[in-house]
Amino acid sequence: MKTLRSALTLASLACATLFAALPAAAQDRVLNLYSARHYQTDEALYSNFTKATGIRINRVEADDAGILARLKAEGSASPADVILLVDAARLWRGEQDGLFQPVKSAVLEQRIPAQLRGGETAQGTQWFGISTRARVMVIDKTRLKPTDVDRYEKLAAPALKGQVCIRSGSHPYNLSLFGSVLDAAGSAATEAWLKGVVANLARDPKGGDTDQIRAVASGECAVAVTNTYYYARLMKSTRPEDRAVVERTQLVFPNQADRGTHVNISGAAVARHARNRDAAVQFLEYLASDDAQRMLADGNNEYPVVATARTENPALMALGRFKSEAVPIAKIGANTAGVQQMLDRVGFR
Ligand code: FE
């Protein structure tokens, strides 16, 4: 993988040198993409774009934090045209740090729900959600009933003492979830709730979402918090140990009777200093097409953001439809700064 990345970097350097001597029109045929999405299945997504437009994609992969740090370090010399990140908290951070440029596009405005977009200015929108994932509960069926955890609020219930598994409180997925609770409950109630969740932990937070699900199946905890695609991945797995995990557990969509389950996004933005701005907007519009939406969502067992896009993911179909929260994702992103301070105060690492 490292070799591949170096090769990509070399290739993009070579291209930069080559195209520097050519007129602007020729330069427009390459798009530099910084992506925190790292799914094999996204390959087809990119090659279809190249086939349809003739625009090649140079991809640089890193995690969200790595991409934001790199954009800051590169400043106006950054070759980045398009940025793909996988969490509202990170997208909000990128917007605050001035790393994106607003986009005005009738296609994106028409196809991507306003609730799943970043800050709006007179010049356009800062970023756009391109796929969604729900943050849900997974329970040990031998220990809990779905009604025991049918609201996020119940994670702090005294009845669940020593039974909750969750990754680090300050991971962006959790910052966004807690930002959603903050929107619904206000500061004082949210901080008290976080304190209650910490008191209920079965162990100190460690590992990713899949590790929490496995800890439920092994009996270390009775309930875990996870993004839907990690559970869907296990549902689709043919490995006996994964089958056993799915057998023993059940996924619960929280808050169905009130505000709906918290839904996060992966999202795209045009880089502040993009040299290929038109191609970058063209790529974002392509991501909002029905075909690209299907590939984006299915590749990582996510949900499309565009209403007309159809997927037939057997795992997600088995989980069924659910009610999503209605709060704008940009508002949740903005709430995450306050959440981090609460986590520090209640000792949620
Ligand atoms: Fe993830």
> 32 Cβ partners below 8 Å, 6+ apart?
12, 58, 60, 79, 80, 81, 82, 276
Task: Compute the distance from residue 39 Cα to the ligand 1 centre, in Å.
Answer: 11
What pLDDT digit, counting tens, does each position of 306-316 carry?
A: 999 998 899 99
Task: Compute the distance from residue 273 Cα to the ligand 1 centre, in Å.
Answer: 28
Task: Compute the distance from residue 173 Cα to the ligand 1 centre, in Å.
Answer: 8
Task: Compute the distance from residue 41 Cα to the ligand 1 centre, in Å.
Answer: 15
pTM of the model: 0.90
Task: Compute the distance from residue 7 Cα to the ligand 1 centre, in Å.
Answer: 26
What pLDDT digit, counting tens, does each position of 25-45 carry?
A: 544 589 999 999 887 788 889
Asked if 328 and 343 count as a contact pair (C-beta separation under 8 A), the reply is no
User: What amino acid occupies position 340?
Assistant: Q
Q: Examine the pLDDT at 11 and tell me if it is beyond 90.
A: no
Task: Compute the distance from residue 211 Cα to the ligand 1 centre, in Å.
Answer: 12
Q: What is the pLDDT of residue 7?
A: 40
Task: Compute the distance from residue 99 Cα to the ligand 1 centre, in Å.
Answer: 22
Task: Compute the distance from residue 314 Cα to the ligand 1 centre, in Å.
Answer: 20
Task: Compute the distance from residue 131 Cα to the ligand 1 centre, in Å.
Answer: 12
Nearest to 217, CA basis, from 241, 253, 237? 241
Average pLDDT for the chain: 92
